[in-house]
Chain A
Amino acid sequence: MAENKKWLPRWFYQMASPRWCYEFCGRLLPWFVVAAVLLLGAGTAWALAWAPADYQQGNSFRIIYIHVPAAILAQSCYMLMAVAGAIGLIWKMKVADMVAKSCAPIGATIAVLALATGAIWGKPTWGAWWVWDARLTSMLVLLFLYLGVIALHSAMESENTAAQATSVLALVGLVNIPIIKYSVEWWNTLHQPATFTLTEKPAMPMEMWLPLLVMVIGFYCFFSVSLMLRVRNEILHRERRAGWVRTLLEKA
């Protein structure tokens, strides 16, 4: 058995222990909090004060610095949820289930943020709060997928069953996301193409692109903080009968 398992690193199995994961997240948390505060603060100031205004859209384009990171994050969060769900299904890891469960509400909130900032941006640019454009629609569908996962989870009484069922649903959604994305893209497109890619030369000037990069990384750090807080709470809640949690609570 030991040889069979060698292809996975040791930390993978350590993460499976709720206690180890709780402590590990606790050690990482302060760093991520500092990074998130610094990056988001610096990025926001840079974006609002120093980045040049767009020659067509004027200052209204500055909402991009929240809109684009939120949109990117909402998609990666779904990915993480599905992968964590798959790990939970395959290796029966409780911690992976908890991560998947914690991802759903965060992802849904961020998808709402992306949609709301998109609507606010759309009003001065396109003249309407909402248009049935491909990217907006696929973000809306992503939000629906999150809401479905949350609804399914809350409908089931047993934590274990709920985790497994939502993992299956998240994986089905993951297969569907590219299909949905392309189908709505061929259906109707008004939106500008993706603003932010790491692989290609940015279409926007450096002084606009760099604060965006800072904001994207800041959003990821913020997401990690919020995820770790949720996972830690979830661990405490589910392991409330374990000895180490009791001693921890008594100390506090």
Chain B
Amino acid sequence: MNQPLSNPDMPVKQTGMAVLFCAVMKRDLMLAFRRRSDLLNPLIFFLMVASLFPLGISPEPTFLEQLAPGVVWVGALLATLLSMDSLFRSDFDDGTLEQTLLSPQPLFLVVLAKVIAHWAMTGLPLTLMAPLLGLMLFLPTEGMGGLMLSLLIGTPTLSLIGAIGAALTVGLRKGGVLISLLVLPLYIPVLIFGAGAVQAAVTGLPLGGYLALLGAMLALGIALAPLAIAAALRISVSG
């Protein structure tokens, strides 16, 4: 799989891989832009979930203020999860995925590029939209920076882990609910530290530690998750 890495002409291969990475990302971003409704759906879902909590629990500002970090984080998590199923679905349906697996290019990079493109289409907009939700839920202004920073570092990890679930279930007709079952338990650490960072920012405590832990999880995710995704894709497609 990683044969090009051991090739003596490293420089040529390096650019080759960078080109591959950019090409995959560009393709996925373009495909996403051509279907704008798919792009907006997770964001609308995010907004709706957040508006359910005041309706369902209490519109009291002091109460919502305490709830806000967790609610925004859970909303972002669920929105990411919801969008995960489409990550490999269309590629699988039209056979592109099979061609990608057959190509000599390292699958690790292809997969990583796809996940990053997916994150740029879901996690990044969610991060940018989060202050709006924070405002709706009366999150104190001091918490906004922490909220955005934690989401910025945390959502790529969510995308990486979610992609494992998507890759495992891509061959199944009914993947939707199954992905949540597989992936939600793995999301727990990200949720804990993400919401913890916002909480710390609200109360004025240093949040460097939380962000460092989120960053560590992201680093681990970038290093290991593409391996699992690639293996899962091979299994799903061959089976």
Contacts and interface: CB of A to CB of B under 8 A. Distances in A.
B231 interface: yes
Contact of A148 (B185, B188, B189, B231): B185
A155 B169 contact: yes
A15 interface: no
Contacts of A169: 164, 168, 182
A165 B232 contact: yes
Interface stretch (B25-33, B41-49, B170-178): B170-178
B181 A168 contact: no
Given A172-B164, A187-B196, A147 B181 contact: yes
Interface string B126-169: 00000000000000000000000000000000000000100011
A148 B181 CA distance: 5
A164 B235 contact: yes
A173 interface: yes
Given A148-B182, A152-B182, A155-B169, A180 B188 contact: yes
B49 to A, nearest CB: 21
Contacts of A173: 185-186
A158 interface: yes
Contact of B189 (A144, A156, A160, A176): A176
Interface in A67-115: 89
A175 B161 CA distance: 12
A179 B189 contact: yes
Contact of A180 (B169, B189, B213): B189
Q: Is the interface of A mostly helix, strand, loop or mixed?
A: helix
B185 A151 contact: no
A183 B193 contact: yes
A165 B235 CA distance: 6
Contacts of B178: 151-152, 155
B83 to A, nearest CB: 19
B184 A165 contact: no
A132 B238 CA distance: 42
B228 interface: yes
Given A152-B182, A184-B188, A161 B238 contact: yes
A141 interface: yes
Given A152-B178, A161-B239, A183-B192, A168 B232 contact: yes
A136 to B, nearest CB: 13
A228 interface: no
Contacts of B232: 165, 168
A184 to B, nearest CB: 7
Nearest to B236: A165
Contact of A161 (B184, B192, B217, B235): B235
Contacts of A172: 164, 186, 228
Interface residues of A, number: 27
Interface in A124-176: 141, 144-145, 147-148, 151-152, 155-156, 158, 160-161, 164-165, 168-169, 171-173, 175-176
B188 A152 contact: no
B10 interface: no
B239 A158 contact: yes
A161 B238 CA distance: 8
Given A155-B174, A179-B217, A168 B185 contact: no
B74 to A, nearest CB: 15
Interface string B206-238: 000000010001001000100010011001101
A163 to B, nearest CB: 9
Nearest to B186: A176
B228 A151 contact: no
A168 B196 contact: no
A172 B178 CA distance: 16
Given A152-B181, A155-B178, A161-B235, 18 more contacts: A89-B231, A141-B185, A144-B184, A152-B168, A152-B169, A152-B178, A152-B182, A155-B174, A160-B239, A161-B238, A161-B239, A165-B168, A168-B231, A169-B164, A173-B185, A176-B186, A179-B220, A183-B189
Top 10 A-B pairs, shortest CB-CB distance: A161-B239, A183-B189, A144-B185, A164-B235, A148-B182, A183-B192, A148-B181, A141-B185, A179-B189, A187-B192
18 contacts: A141-B185, A152-B168, A155-B169, A158-B239, A161-B238, A165-B168, A168-B168, A168-B231, A169-B168, A173-B186, A175-B220, A179-B220, A180-B188, A183-B192, A183-B213, A184-B188, A184-B192, A187-B196
Interface of A: 89, 141, 144-145, 147-148, 151-152, 155-156, 158, 160-161, 164-165, 168-169, 171-173, 175-176, 179-180, 183-184, 187
